[in-house]
Chains A and B, each alone.
Chain A
Amino acid sequence: YGLLDEITNSAEEGMSLTHCNHAAFAVRRFSLWASSFHGSLFPHLTLSSDEMVAEFSQMLDWSDSALRSFAWHPHTDKFAVALLDDSIKIYKSNSSPTPTLKHRCQRSVCALQWKPLCGSALAVACQSCLLIWHVDPASLSTRPSSGCAQVLSHPGHSPITSIAWSPTGSLLVSASPVDTSMMVWDVAAESAVPLQRVGGGGVTYLSWSPDGSRLLAATPSALFRVWETRMWTCERWPCLKGSCQSACWSPDGGCLLLSMQGERVIYALTFSDLTGINNTYSSPVTAFFLMKNHLKQLFCPPFFSGSSFVLRAGDSQADNHPSVIAVFKTRSSPVFELLPCGFVMGEAGAEPRFMQFHPHFQHGALLTVCWSDGRISHVPFYFSSAGLLGGDSPQQALASNTTNPSSNKLYTEQIS
């Protein structure tokens, strides 16, 4: 209301302009009323910026979590972790230095993602803007200067809670729960194309299908959209109940798994018209939490042909029970199937907050879990038979849940 304030102030000075003064007040009243009405229509708009990030972040209990976000590099053994103090650390598999990224705009980091087909660029969703760090992998510096970061911002587009690079790395899409349009960034040109759809009141979560042909955009209300990325038109999916919490795509982009708030069911959407994708990956790996009677997170690594499916059941404090992540196999052909497979136990008192599969693990599957006590553990799965079909079972490291918060030993003894 800065402008209106100014108008009223300046109007008060002029004697002859009293009716303008009245008009400004009326407009102000009206806008206040409209915003409150809007807020009652979309309750999330009444939240503060931090609350909103905590609500829509993929990290559970974001506000008190020691780890704010986590991201594997899509091609190499390298990951980035955002910490509570808003710094980002980058760990690599060999003993090279671990750069720490800090920037004055880097506050309330909600999501991280490495640019595909690029060795250096890391996108960071912050409270006020979007940062693109260019961390030279060859450099030995541990504190890259803030000159290495591009700041992308658009008025009205903050806080940003989700980002997604296109699989070819040419576009970056960002979403904010308060902005009804999502931004398609041409990062090098620092220009954005807004794609606006009013229904839903904002966009909370984005997920690009691995073949790049579709993009899921979840909204804070019971509605999500699936955009096709050739002409950028969208399909509207009014959900049954609650908003879409998390989602993952099968590696061929033909199947989308969704979890809804307040429901214990996974929805699967299959898309039949695959555009020129060779359908060799028959069975994706899927993982998700079951969080207080609703599924919170689903994960599914690309380029992977094994099958597992992870689920965390129960409230650990109540039962005085270690948390459990259940692993399921999935198979997408001929029909989509989920088969129970086993469990990964957490340590007593620790809850999983975030999970991600290593996108490029040659020997099988590597599930990385961020725990509530600030540790990151890597759980490798090996497949006994070499076949690509979904019948192979992981030799699970279930009991010995190998946790190594320092990342110099990225992989556990089972690999070496």
Chain B
Amino acid sequence: MFSLKQNSWFIRKVVIWRAVASIAWSVLLLPVTTAVFVLLSRFSLFHPIQWISDCTSLLTASSTIFSLVVLCGVVLITGFFNLEFYTLVPSIPCSRMALLGTVLHPRQCVHSLVYCTMGMLVMWCASVTIGGRYSTLGTPCRQSESGEVVTCLNEYHLFLLLAGAFMGYSHSFLGVVQNMYYVSFQPIQQYKYPRFKGCLPMVVKCSVIQALYSARNFAALYFFFGYVPKTWISSTLNLQIDSSLQPLDSLTGLLDFSLLYHLSISGAFLYLTWYLTVLLFRIYVTEFLALQDLALLSQHSLSRRLEVFNLSQPGGHPHNWNAISGECLCLLSELTQRLVAHQDAVASNGRVKSQSASSDTRSASSSSSVVSGTEDIAETPRLSVPLRTPGSVFKSSVGGANRVLTAPFTPDVDSPFSSPAIRRLVGQQDPHSPWSGTVQSPHIMRRGPKLWSASTESQSNGSPPGSPATVPSPPAASQKPSFLAQWLQNRREQVKSFLAKRVLIMYLFNKLPEASSQALFADSQAHIWALQGLSHLVAASFSEDQFGVVQTTLPNILSCLVVLLEAVDRHFKLPHASSKPVRTLCSMGDSTYKTLRFALRAALKTAIYKITTTFGEHLNAVNISTEHRKRLQQFLEFKE
């Protein structure tokens, strides 16, 4: 779980510092939210002056300061969990069983436990701050018959604490279901402050709504099962139950307006603390990334484009362009393969077989191996992948490789050098990661370490739109089935068909519609950026490429795009692939990943159009196959 050891340089040097900055800001925001909470919790309409003076004295009281320290601890832990759990590729459980597996995963259990504790801590702070009848767990009370003073259980305090634990668990649970830790990218770039300002109303609204839902659910739960913790606590701590007060797990006890109000605002405060931390983390961590940078700046900056189209001195090789186009094409053709493999699997079986997993790692990893432990390790290096630092860290890592151009870089000119980070994006197949063997052909792996070496011939020759077609074949054992294996296979099929008839099993193991489709495109944001960057560069090369650097790879690029388009088109003909997901109105969980396939299709078509409209009739001179030309002709006539 805590796998910070084996990650790459930008986790160490970039993401951690961004996370620290975001946590620092969350801590700085705490006094503000606490003050608002205090104002709201002591609200009285008819005594405004007393209200204000109460609140100011409370805000400077030592108990509040102590609460703030506790809350800081909570924020720190939340920030740590954000850093530990965040992902750029959401895990999409393809069946209910897989979802169940995710929820019961040990890592997730630890998460839930910690969040329950944090919820109780925050609620304890809240109850101390609200004061009055909520402040302590034990209250002195007078027993009815003997009249002596004993310590009784304060049920209001217990109620709030349990509510905190409940909200903590539901936050953790919803975090899995809604992929709370999925970090998506906005379609536009903004500075951090305006972005935070723009998101703040949404976050406040979400936390209030979520708090109201949780308060309702918790009240219902407490009504039915509230006596269990109550009797347990009172017996273990030897506290009496005050019989003169109305018990809270009754209808009249729960219909207490001020109790529900305090429950709701404390819940809103709790959720707001967490959501703000998540929001700040998202904002900080999604700044300035390599592929995004390529996509945006290939569009905006002439000087950086010229840098791409330049030849190396001496030697006259277009290293920059070869590197960039090679990586983008690699990425895209890998997606094509994945789609084709999925379609084959579907075509052969009616639905995805688990056997296809060997050639289709991504979908498999999200569908089947969510429960397995390897996924966790595998995921962490992946997430970090497209991040890139501007400035010194970046240069130092690049300097060795790009000696020719090391001269004085301004941060603006280094777009060609964003390629090392792009490499890393593809360089997911670094040999340490458990993915490497399966994600791509060994061919790429072999090439991997060489990417930055001086041997450019192999790069330009091996730059691979079509080359990685060698999908690793299933294990050799299955190819030569012995009798025993055959028998086992038959048995398994029988067990399967027997189980398939049971309703519950069916319910749990049935594929969720759309899920496999979502899982296939789960990491497509990178592909979209690659498409945008590549198409902008190619289109710009029409007028800016002095040396004809792009012309050499144009047929490759075009055929790669058309093949991908065909694969995507075929994919959308599968059942459920083109159905739109229902939109959730207000939740912190980001559901962008559900529509990534549509975004990818639109980006792909736009990319092809961008190239065809720029080149126009000149495309006829490009050497590509006839059916691809036919397809491109459709684009030239705007018939797509």
Q: Residues of A at under 8 Å CB distance from B?
A: 16-17, 19-20, 22-23, 26, 73, 75-76, 78, 117-120, 137-138, 168-171, 181, 184-191, 193-196, 212-213, 229-233, 275-276, 278
Contact = CB atoms under 8 A, between A and B. Distances in A.
B578 to A, nearest CB: 10
Interface stretch (B11-19, B274-282, B297-305, B507-515): B297-305
A20 B197 CA distance: 32
A223 to B, nearest CB: 19
Given A23-B45, A196-B198, A276-B300, A233 B191 contact: yes
Interface of B: 45-46, 186-191, 194, 197-198, 257, 296, 299-303, 305, 532, 536, 543, 580, 583, 592, 595-596, 598-603, 605-606, 609-610, 613, 635, 637-640
A213 B299 CA distance: 10
A119 B638 contact: yes
B638 A230 contact: no
Contact of B188 (A26, A184, A189): A184
Contacts of B198: 181, 193-196
A132 to B, nearest CB: 10
Nearest to B605: A118
B257 A17 contact: yes
A189 B598 contact: yes
A169 B639 contact: no
Instruction: Indicate the member of A17, A138, A181, A186 with the most B CB atoms within 10 Å.
Output: A186
Contacts of A229: 188
B406 to A, nearest CB: 24
Contact of B296 (A184, A190, A196, A230): A230
A188 B580 CA distance: 10
A168 B598 contact: no
B639 A119 contact: yes
A414 B596 CA distance: 48
B187 A184 contact: yes
B188 A138 contact: no
Nearest to A234: B194
A329 to B, nearest CB: 26
A230 B194 CA distance: 14
A186 B194 CA distance: 19
A154 to B, nearest CB: 11
Nearest to B594: A189
B638 A75 contact: yes
Nearest to A173: B188
5 residue pairs, one from A and one from B, having the closest CB atoms: A276-B302, A119-B638, A188-B599, A186-B187, A117-B609
Chain B contact residues: over half helix, strand or loop, or mixed?
A: helix
30 contacts: A16-B257, A23-B45, A75-B638, A119-B639, A137-B638, A137-B640, A138-B639, A168-B299, A168-B610, A169-B609, A170-B187, A184-B188, A186-B599, A187-B602, A188-B595, A188-B598, A188-B600, A189-B595, A190-B580, A190-B595, A191-B592, A191-B595, A195-B194, A196-B197, A212-B299, A232-B188, A232-B190, A276-B302, A276-B303, A276-B305
Contact of A75 (B187, B543, B583, B613): B613
A230 B189 contact: yes
Contacts of B598: 188-189
Nearest to B303: A276
A202 to B, nearest CB: 17
Given A118-B605, A118-B609, 6 more contacts: A117-B606, A119-B638, A171-B188, A186-B599, A189-B187, A190-B580
Contacts of A190: 580, 583, 595
B300 A168 contact: no
A105 B586 CA distance: 23
B610 A188 contact: no
B85 to A, nearest CB: 23
A187 B189 CA distance: 16
Contacts of B595: 188-191
Nearest to A197: B194
A137 B599 contact: no
Contacts of B583: 190
Nearest to A26: B45
Given A230-B296, A232-B189, A275-B300, A189 B640 contact: no
A37 B301 CA distance: 46
Nearest to B610: A117
Contacts of B580: 190
B300 A232 contact: no
B361 to A, nearest CB: 25
Contacts of A118: 602, 605-606, 609, 640
A149 to B, nearest CB: 12
A117 B609 CA distance: 5
B640 A193 contact: no
A23 B635 CA distance: 63
A213 B600 CA distance: 23
Contacts of B191: 231, 233
Contacts of B602: 118, 187-188
Contacts of A120: 640
A358 to B, nearest CB: 15
A276 B299 CA distance: 9
Given A20-B257, A278-B543, A170 B532 contact: yes
Contacts of A194: 198
A189 B635 CA distance: 23
Contacts of A233: 191, 194
Given A189-B598, A193-B187, A168 B305 contact: no
A121 to B, nearest CB: 8
Contacts of B194: 195, 232-233
Among B198, B606, B610, B635, the one with the most A-chain Cβ atoms within 10 Å of its Cβ is B606
A120 B602 CA distance: 11
A261 B303 CA distance: 41
Nearest to B595: A189
A232 B302 CA distance: 19
Contacts of A76: 637-638
Contacts of A168: 299, 536, 606, 610
Contacts of B301: 275-276
Contact of B302 (A23, A73, A170, A275): A275
A201 B46 CA distance: 34
Contacts of B305: 276
B639 A193 contact: no
B189 A231 contact: yes
Contacts of B303: 276
Contacts of B635: 119
A45 to B, nearest CB: 20
B187 A19 contact: no
A402 B69 CA distance: 79
A196 to B, nearest CB: 6
Nearest to A194: B198
Nearest to B640: A119
A194 B603 CA distance: 22
A163 to B, nearest CB: 16
Contact of B639 (A137, A189, A232): A137
Given A193-B186, A278-B543, A230 B300 contact: yes
A169 B638 CA distance: 14
